[in-house]
Amino acid sequence: MKKGLVIGSMKASLAAGVLALAPMVHAATVYADQVVAETTFNWSTGGDGVYHTGDDVNNQWGQIEQLDSGTAAITADFPQNGNGSLRLASNGGASSKGGVAYYPPGLTGFGPLSSITAASFEYKRDSASANPAPVMRLFLFNPGTDTHVATLVWTSGLNGVTDAATDAAWQTADVLGGTVIQLKSGGPFYNQSMTFAAAKQAAELQGLIVRAVEVGFGRGGWNGDFVSGADTVLLTGSAASVSANFEATRPPPPEGVASVPTLSEWGMVVTGLLLAGAAAARVRRRQG
């Protein structure tokens, strides 16, 4: 093989590797103190409620629609793949709802629905619950705008998973290979279910961008309480990807490794050195 062809092949392989890594925009581990409160998150728009302004909260997980006593928070109640998971609870509310969502920066979101190549999460329901398991919601927008057109929802019931199975052990929701329902009123296929593959190919949906992903529960028609855990959320598209393992607490630093000083601690160190130097200078002047 000629030298030029070898170099060209190496460059092509390197470029392909870079492109494969490009969509990753968020670290895998999400700690409890990193989830943005609903009042601050505000569907990622920040306090002003307007997308693409200076106070937007993108590239972070945040609480949305904590309604009628519903809560969504990372705790150690259902540890999975570490010391925690997302705890979802109705707390007795008859129309409770709650969840956490992730918005990539920019108008392209995760990319078109047709470009989604991975979508899944893990979940487990508390056996005392009288309501279905958590769901994944994908919010579909018109490309280049902030118009919410459709919401695809994966539920355990639509995919033949029994409550007994979700109570007994953690389950993996294969959203990409499963069935979803469109629950945005006024949008195409409202209240109709279809396979995710069919949704990707539907002319009315395939060009819409996946602006955000949510894992949550609710709303309405509750018959009793609901408590569940969710973890290991994955969504990959042509423009962005997110992989989240929810952890209740950060691991302690390795034994024998000193923690990194904070800015204030560095300031105290520098101030101390300056004072010590000034004192030494005064001593030298007196001795001279």
Which region among 9-13, 129-133, 185-189, 271-275 has the lowest average model confidence (pLDDT)?
9-13
Chain segment 83-138, per-residue pLDDT in tens: 999 999 998 888 889 999 999 988 899 999 999 999 999 999 998 887 788 999 99
- On whether the pTM is more than 0.85, the answer is no
Q: What percent of the chain has pLDDT over 70?
A: 81
Report how far residue 258's alpha carbon sits from residue 77's, in angstroms, rounded to the nearest whole number: 30
pLDDT(9) > 50: no
Report CA-CA distances (Å) from 103 to 64, 124, 191. Answer: 12, 24, 24
Report CA-CA distances (Å) from 208 to 52, 102, 148, 186, 187. Answer: 19, 17, 9, 15, 12
Chain segment 141-179, per-residue pLDDT in tens: 999 889 999 999 999 999 999 988 999 899 999 999 999
How do beta strands 241-247 and 29-31 pair? parallel
Rounded to an integer, the average pLDDT of 204-215 is 96
Phi, psi at 74, each rounded to 5°: -80, 125
Which region among 20-24, 202-206, 224-228 has the lowest average model confidence (pLDDT)?
20-24
Residue with structure tokens 């106070």?
55
Chain segment 257-282, per-residue pLDDT in tens: 666 676 666 677 777 777 777 766 66
Chain segment 14-64, per-residue pLDDT in tens: 334 433 344 444 448 999 999 999 999 999 999 999 998 999 999 999 999
Buried-state track 19-40, b at ≥16 Cβ within 10 A, e below 16: eeeebebbeeebbbebbbebee
Angle 135-223-65 from CA coordinates, rounded to 5°: 45
